[in-house]
Each structure stands twice: as structure tokens, then as C-alpha cells.
Structure 1
């Protein structure tokens, strides 16, 4: 791939991914019930969500907290992608919170992965969520281009890289369950892949979530040149260009 074609491919892929993220960034769960604007739950939600952007940076890129007493307790958690700088992480969470409050004005539970790329992840609920695996809703995005090299040869390299990194991320610490890596292809391209779980998950839940993202992508977008699978508790992304940032969060 030439330098000019690589640049064009990067710009097209980035535009498609960012447009998709911003258009499907929030999920408001009406099944858990609603609240009124002058209620105790509304006050507690405002307090807990407003605390996230500063605390996520102070707590190494992930943070979980609660506000209020039962039956008006609001539980919230957030984490940024493991390669994100402190400033980017804080800005993403602050922007996502503002967007979430507008688009889910009275739902007692909601989820967002932010409004841009790299993403940040926010959950709040009227029930405890710390350490609780959540695999739905799921976002699957492919970049639209198809693999042109031998599919069997590509599959072997792709599967070896992704499963190795998923296992590595699952074995991470209680502060960061994150892994990224790359593998060379015979056609002079390189695969770049990234996996991450919410750090409050157990190793088994994290690994199970990440391997599910691999299967999800394999079923929907098998022949495409890159894409993402996002779940509330874990994420998977891969592409043929180095999409991650150089610094770890924060």
C-alpha cells in the first residue's frame, strides 16, 4: 500500500467510524423505570455524573461511585480506553455526560461510549453495577473494504493475534485490563488490534466478554479490513493502520 493510498484509507475509515459512534452513542433503558426532574433520584444522578470527569483522571482512567440512599441510590462507573491521555479522557467523559443527560433525560439507567474516537464508557443505574458483566447493547462497525489477500492465510494470522491479546487483557490488573499489539501480513500490511475490559470485571468475565467480541465481529464482518465491537463491559478494535494513541491513560 502506497503512502497516499494509506492516508486516503485512514481518512475514509476514520470518518465512517466517528460518524457511526456519534450517531449511536447512547442507550437509555426505559425498562428500569423513569424519574421526575425534581425528584431525589434526579439530584443524585446530577451529583454522581458531574463527579466523573475529574475523578476518572485521578483514578488512573477508571472510576466507580454511588450517590444517595436506597431507593434513590445512583450507581455509576466510567473508564477510558487504555491508550488515552489524561486530557483526552477527561474531555471525553465530560462531553459524554453532557450528551447523556440531554438524550436520556429521565431514565433511571443508561449507557454511553462517548461522542468521538477514542471512546470513553459511562454507565449509571439504580442497581449496583460494579463488577457486573454487561454485554448488551453491542455496536458492530466495519470499515467497508474487504480483504484481498488469501482469506485462509489472513484468518490464521488475525485469529492468532486477536485471541492472544484478548487473553492478555483478561489477565490485567484491577486498575487496567488492556492489551494492544500487531502482526505482519504477507502482503506488506500490518494488523493492529486492541482489547479492553472494564477493570472491575473478574478475569473470567473479562476474557469471556472479549472472546465474545471476536465472535461477534467474525459473524458480522468477517472479510472486512478492520472495525470495532463495543459492549458496555469490553471493547475490541482492529485495523490496518496504527489507530491507537501513544500515551497510556492518564
Structure 2
């Protein structure tokens, strides 16, 4: 079996989202046909009789159906022995059941197109993520799959104060989310007279509260890699997500 890794990032979608949403007072979650990004690994030429692809399809279908009626999250497995596959699905905490289902339906179709011959795959949309693997990752922090996005516009004044406000906001949200059943938290704070800052954090619910907080704090610590003093940014992983903006993007 040969190993290979494919990574795709679509930052222009994020830039477009920044431009469009700055003009709105309330975020509206509309599932996009196009993913923000995806990651495929462990290329495998399946034999004609291999059950692994069918098990992937079965599992992703189950996750897409179960998550919307389970508060936006589900995990599980399908198959056995060398053909066993593990997976999870997560919808953003403010997504409706309908938006959650639509997003995951797009995700399961797209990930099978992008990662059709891969044993591991993850795909991110604005309002959901979907992941599968040959390895049992359930209950473990994913430190491998990461996606970094940032606004094209930097903060021009009081950068130090902006970064301190951003980090304090997200760290407070990490504590809040880790202590809640939903593993999801949002909040906005005033930066100055004309600018508010909005933050969102979320973990997959297969983690413990302690690991949720650890994952979020790790993601916050990575913000300087992608976002420096940009007006908005996010770190999206396989186990948690952190995001901040200067416009409202959640409900």
C-alpha cells in the first residue's frame, strides 16, 4: 500500500464571506456546495472485493442522518477487521437541523469525490465538518488535520491591544465551552467605540471536557501562525475550531 497526502484549501471563499457578511447585522447560515478545505491521506488501490469503500459510504450516510437529530454531532464505525472505518460529524452549534443535514449531505458527497481512494479523509465547511479514518481516533485530540484561514485585512491601529483582547476573549470561551454539554460557546466584546470583536469556539463531543479545553487552547496558540494581527481568522482542526471576526457571523 502506497502512502500519499492531499491537501486543499479554498481561501477565496473565506475572503468573499468576509466581504459579504460585513454588510449584514446577523449571520445567516447557508450551506455551501464548495468546501472550505479538505485533507486526504493514505492512498490505497482497493481490490474489487474490498469492503472498505462501502463501509465508508455506509458510515458517512449514518453520520449525516444521525447528527442533525443528535444536537449536531455523532460518531461511530462500520465494518470489521481490516475493513473497519471510524468517523464523526459535527455541525456548528448555531446551525439548525435543516442546515446541519444539508451541510453534511454536501460533505459526504464531496469527501468521497476528493478522497475516493484514501483511507483517511476530513472535509470542512463553514457550518460542519466530516471525518473518517481507518484508525480509531474517537476520544482523541486530532493534532494532524489543521486548516488556517485569515482575513486579508490587518488591524492598523492598537495592534497589541487588539491581540490581547482577541486572546483573552477566546481563552475565556475555551473555558466556557469545555464546561458545557454542547462544547460550544460564542461571545462578543467591545474593542473600541466603533469596533466589536466576535468569537466562537467548538469541540467535537467525543472529547472529555479537559481535552476540549486543551484542544482549544492549542488552537488559540496557533493563531499567530496564520493570522498575526489580521481582523479575522480561524484555526479549524479535526477536534476543535476557534474563530474571531470584527463582524457578527453566528446566530
TM-score w.r.t. the length of structure 2 is: 0.83
From the superposition, tell whether residues 188 and 12 of structure 1 become closer, same or farther in structure 2 (CA, over 3 Å).
closer
Distance 2:48 2:92 in 1: 32
Distance 1:151 1:76 in 2: 40
Distance 1:217 1:34 in 2: 37
Distance 1:37 1:91 in 2: 31
2:215 touches 2:240 (CA, 8 Å); kept in 1?
yes
- The answer to which structure has the higher strand fraction is 2
* 2:27 alignment counterpart: none
Shift of 1:187: 3.6
* 2:70 alignment counterpart: 59
* 1:113 alignment counterpart: 124
2:35 touches 2:107 (CA, 8 Å); kept in 1?
no
Distance 2:186 2:142 in 1: 22
* 1:28 alignment counterpart: 40
Matched, 1:147 2:155: yes
2:226 to 220, 223, 238: 220
Distance 1:156 1:102 in 2: 42
Distance 2:183 2:35 in 1: 27
Aligned pairs, number: 227
Distance 1:69 1:218 in 2: 42
From the superposition, tell whether residues 140 and 91 of structure 1 become closer, same or farther in structure 2 (CA, over 3 Å).
same
Matched, 1:11 2:11: no
Shift of 1:23: 6.4
Distance 2:135 2:229 in 1: 40
2:22 touches 2:247 (CA, 8 Å); kept in 1?
no
Distance 2:175 2:131 in 1: 24
Matched, 1:89 2:100: yes
Describe the superposition over 1:183-241 as per-residue Cα deviations: whole angstroms up to 9, x where unpaired.
Answer: 10124210000000101111222111111111111233221101111011100111011
Describe the superposition over 1:102-156 as per-residue Cα deviations: whole angstroms up to 9, x where unpaired.
Answer: 1111211111113xx33x1111112212101102221111111111231232233
- The answer to which structure has the higher helix fraction is 1
Q: Which runs of 5+ in 1 are unaligned?
A: 1-7
Moved runs in structure 1, 4+ residues, more than 4 A? 21-24
2:90 to 79, 82, 89: 79
* 1:133 alignment counterpart: 141
Q: Which runs of 5+ in 2 are unaligned?
A: 1-16, 24-29
Q: CA RMSD in A?
A: 2.3
TM-score w.r.t. the length of structure 1 is: 0.83
1:34 touches 1:108 (CA, 8 Å); kept in 2?
no
